Amino acid sequence: MADAIMDNQQERMGHGRCESAARPAALEPRHWGWGEGGGTRLVLLTAAIIAVAITARLIPSIGTGSAHPVTGSYPWTVALAQLPATAVPGRAAGRLVPAPHSSSAAHSLQSHGVTMARKWGLGGVPLRPPKASRPLKQVFGGKNFGVLARVPTRDNVVFLTIDDGAEKDPLFAEMVRDLSIPFTSFLTDYASRDNYGYFKHIQELGHHPIENHTATHPDMPKLSFQKQRDEICQQQDNLEEATGVRPRLFRPPYGNYNETTLSAARTCGLKGVVLWSAEAFPDRIDYPTPERKLGPGDIILTHFRGPGQWRGTMVDMLRRVLRAAADQGLAVAALEDYV
């Protein structure tokens, strides 16, 4: 609305300037009466003066408009700490960054993001990941079959990976849909078989691929090559049958593997092994470094678990991850965009 008013005023002011440039005599004092022609000029000049006055009032209000995020002058990509303190009691409001462009579509998107953030008890809209740049070195693909615990990137992103599949929380599915949070599931058959449909539903939202975490979740190095291969290849078939997509990535249970595991995974058609560098729970995050914070490229491990298995819900867990990421200016990005 404010933009429309501004455009209209600038258009009117522009007309005034054109007329003045074409006929400078119009501004001479002798024409400032109510006589024929002078009246029109007076009206135009008055309109120009009013427009200048209104514009002067509008400019400061645009400059401070970001102090009122819900009205639409709010950037879509804003850190959690940047929402008003009222959204999270006890949290100080940070400096707001004005949106660089204004359009009704962008405002609508921002408004939707703010609404969804509040719905899920977040202090701000989760940061959107940038367009993925190439990893600093080739990760997987071709002859590269490697093991990865952190993505080699300088992008301000982290990755969320969720294992096993025991808990199928519909609220969590709703939350990731509302907030458009990408993550990768590593499913084991014994935990997820009773409802693969839950994971297929999330997969179909986009940016939620399902990867391989064995059929029965054994400690792989204790098994022979053939048994390890059976665990992995069988789960490839299970997941393809359940979701229509054959996995690319493998995560060994407990993060335990040996050279036999890597050979077995490769012969099942997998492209690489993904471990993790941080682990998230509803009530804490175990960080990879003594600084106790996330950094670019960190892969976060968590699990499909319910309140009976840990202190909180999947929703609590995701809220904690999003806050920890935003505290460091990091967005949650799609792993498959990088590996």
In the complex, the residues that contact Zn ion under the rule CB under 5 A are: 163-164, 253
**For residues 65 and 253, which CB has a smaller minimum distance to Zn ion in the complex?**
253
- Strand 278-280, strand 285-286: pairing: antiparallel
Distance CA(174)–CA(305), nearest Å, equals 16
DSSP letter for 297, please.
T
Which of 11/219 has CB closer to Zn ion? Answer: 219
Residue number with CB closer to Zn ion (164 or 298): 164
Give me the least distance between CB of 302 and Zn ion, in Å please. Answer: 11
SS3 16: helix
Q: In the bound complex, what is the minimum distance in angstroms from residue 213's beta carbon to Zn ion?
A: 6
Nearest distance in Å: CB 214, Zn ion: 8
Alpha-carbon Rg for the chain, nearest whole angstrom, is 28
Nearer to Zn ion, 86 or 216 (CB): 216
Angle at 197 between CA 194 and CA 198, to 5 degrees: 90
In the complex, minimum distance from the CB of residue 169 to Zn ion, in angstroms, rounded to a whole number: 17
* CA distances to 72, 92, 98, 172, 233 from 68, in Å: 8, 15, 10, 29, 54
**Under 8 Å between Cβ of 148 and 272:** yes
Q: Which residue is nearest to Zn ion (CB)?
A: 163
SS3 207: coil
Least distance from C-beta 183 to Zn ion, angstroms?
A: 15
For Zn ion, the closer of residues 132 and 147 by Cβ is 147
Q: At which residue do the structure tokens 């022609």 appear?
A: 37
Q: Taking Cα atoms as reference points, which of 303, 290, 321 lies closest to residue 254?
A: 303
What is the C-alpha separation between 314 and 185, in angstroms, rounded?
13
- Name the minimum Å distance from CB 134 to Zn ion: 30
DSSP secondary structure, 304-319, as one string: ---TTTSSS-HHHHHH
Nearer to Zn ion, 155 or 163 (CB): 163
Residue 129 or 253 with smaller CB distance to Zn ion: 253
Task: Work out the number of other CB atoms within 10 angstroms of the CB of residue 127.
Answer: 23
Contact 86, 108 (CB under 8 A): no
Kindly tell me which of 163 and 167 has the beta carbon lying closer to Zn ion.
Answer: 163
Q: Taking the complex as a whole, how short is the minimal distance between the CB of residue 328 and Zn ion, in angstroms?
A: 26
What is the distance between the alpha carbons of residues 192 and 299, in angstroms, rounded to a whole number? Answer: 22
Strand 249-250, strand 272-274: pairing: parallel
Whichever of 9 and 185 has its CB closer to Zn ion, that residue is 185
Least distance to Zn ion from the beta carbon of 165, Å? 9
Judged by phi (left if over 0) then psi (alpha if -120 to 50, else beta), residue 269 lies in: left
* Minimum gap (Å) between residue 192 Cβ and Zn ion: 11
Task: Report the 10 Å Cβ neighbour count for 86.
Answer: 10
Bridge partner list, 250: 212, 273
